Chains A and B, each alone.
Chain A
Amino acid sequence: MSTLPERILGGEEGEYVVAEVHRVMLHDGNAPLIFDDMEDEGIWDPDRVTSVVDHFCPPSTVERAGFVKKLREFVKDKGISDHVEFQGICHQLMCEGRSLPGEIVAGIDSHSTTYGAVGAFGVGFGASDTVEILKTGKTWFKVPETIKVDILKGGSGTDIALAMLREIEYHGNYRSLEFNDEAGLDMDARLTICNMAAETGAKAALFPPDECTSEYLSEFGIKQHRSYTTSDPERCVDVISISVDDPLAAVPHKPYNVKTVSSIEGKTIDQVFIGSCASGRISDLRDAVEVLKGRKVHPDIRLLVTPASNRILNEALKEDLIGPLIKAGAVILNPSCGPCPGIDKGLLAEGETCITTQNRNYPGRMGPGEVFIANSKVCAQSAIDGVISLPGGVDET
């Protein structure tokens, strides 16, 4: 019996294969690195390329305005029709009807594992690999081993992802993760988990398509999609079980340095950020409002909130989630990467501390300060209290 990567990539585990990709994602944060190499080259299929401006969004320096301008020109020159500017974070947009189960979707970004939430083999590449893929529609892969992850008991996507990181640490490198959802998770949680699977080093992270996948894809007019069976469990190099009881937090400076939130309560913070491609989805915003409605952000804290896409922002407006956040004192940023990659608005000063729903807390990630990662409710409660704190006791999260 075969594994999923063997079937999707077409080859045996450990073997080098050349596989065709179904779609490519470019974004303004890395695409500038390919312009020179692509100058005299055509794209194998411009209709299979999505270009997103989300890092310099909108650009805050003249040099970055130049990158975005060049990306616009590149897109026109190469005949790419799907260019999305200032509408959301690339990985969210790629999961809003652009990635399908069983497809190989190559992104110019390490969080391309996110597309596994909808059953796609989302896989990230650097700039030079992306050039080759754009020219030929294919690239080489080493068919990875599979780690099976049984998710037994729910919680927020962030908590499940952190529990997974605590177990796997960085041992997902050069491997594929495959989830067995026995907790009945929603798509928002799956997107968070597949996104943060990147922090294990995983090449891809897959939720095999099920009813949850079909229902979600139908929101984007996709009525039919491929289905596939799971990997032979006997062929998986490891099987781990995840069950979340208490809210968790990653402490500086690794996403897999995971502790319970209760063990770090009282830690002073300066900034709270709810957003990034790891979260910023409607369920994260609902959770934040549940805690913040009718309350006030602590005067020493700035709370930044970034919906992951305009679609989500629209939904949040319809559900009246934005007003209560603003009343509480939150700053609503436009859908974009925001402060997470240390490039755009909302960076930390030397010696400052942030608690966030984002995926990375590496040294220097958000500027020179320290970053803690926790779920949206914990972040919202911490914004009110001015220190890391649990919302109304453990049971509510």
Chain B
Amino acid sequence: MKRRARVFGHDITLDEIHPGTYFSLDSDRVVKGLMEGVEPGFHETVEKDDIIVAGRNFGMGSGRESGTWAMKFAGIDCVIVESFSRYMFRNCINNGIWPIEVEGILEMVEEGDMLEIDPDKGLLVLESGEEVSFKRFPHWMVNIIKSSTL
């Protein structure tokens, strides 16, 4: 399946991915905060199965899991970045979102590119058809991601 890339830059903080004012248990409210600190109105254009692509330190700062929930509620199950903050990495795993790290990803992908991803094989296919491999996850981590719960 080809999936649309939504591209962000380096050092996107959790406070931008999900500003504290959107902290709530109401899923409609939570999803409205998604990326609101970096791209206001993102929640109106994001579609299920879009892939978020970003540079280094994605999710730096706060560990508030509501940011990961916002992605999950928006139907996102894959994030490809150069590097994750520790909190974002763990929170993605626990919420059934593949936290994939690819060095130099921002040079390979542009907004709206259609990507194919196979986390089990560690394979990403770019818009151009070029194949990029990434490190596969340990078996136990895959189990957590796939069961989407601990």
Assign chain B's interface to a size class: 35 or more
**Chain A: minimal CB distance from B134 (Å):** 17
| A341, B20: Cβ atoms closer than 8 Å | yes
Instruction: Pick out which of these stretches binds chain B: A26-34, A75-83, A386-394.
Output: A26-34
B63 touches A110 (CB 8 A): yes
- Please tell me if B60 contacts chain A, counting CB pairs below 8 Å: yes
Determine if B1 is an interface residue (Cβ-Cβ < 8 Å).
Answer: no
Answer whether A363 and B11 are a contact pair too, CB < 8 Å, given A126-B90, A126-B91, A173-B85: no
A126 CB contacts on chain B under 8 angstroms: 63-65, 68, 87, 90-91, 94
Question: Is B37 interfacial (CB-CB < 8 Å)?
Answer: yes
Is A128 located at the chain interface by the 8 A CB criterion? yes
Q: Which residues of B contact A32 (CB under 8 A)?
A: 25
Is the contact region of chain B dominated by helix, strand, or loop, or is it mixed?
loop
Could you tell me how many residues of chain A have their Cβ less than 8 Å away from some Cβ of chain B?
Answer: 34
Asked whether A365 lies within 8 Å of B15 as measured between CB atoms, the reply is yes
Main secondary structure of the interface of A (DSSP, over half): loop
Q: Which listed residue, B24, B60, B91, touches A128 by the CB 8 Å rule?
A: B91
Q: Mark A9-30, 1 if CB is under 8 A from B, else 0.
A: 0000000100000000000011
Identify 12 new A-B residue pairs, CB closer than 8 A, beyond the known A173-B57, A173-B85.
A32-B25, A33-B66, A63-B24, A63-B25, A63-B26, A109-B63, A126-B68, A126-B91, A131-B150, A362-B15, A363-B13, A364-B37
Q: Nearest 10 A-B pairs (CB), nearest first?
A: A128-B94, A342-B20, A126-B65, A110-B63, A126-B91, A127-B65, A364-B37, A362-B13, A362-B15, A132-B150
19 residue pairs bridging A and B, Cβ less than 8 Å apart: A30-B63, A33-B25, A63-B24, A67-B25, A109-B63, A110-B87, A126-B63, A126-B91, A128-B150, A129-B90, A131-B150, A341-B20, A343-B20, A362-B13, A362-B61, A363-B38, A364-B20, A364-B37, A365-B20
Which residues of A approach B to under 8 Å, CB–CB? 16, 29-30, 32-33, 37, 63, 67, 108-110, 124-129, 131-132, 170, 173-174, 199, 201, 203, 254, 341-343, 360, 362-365
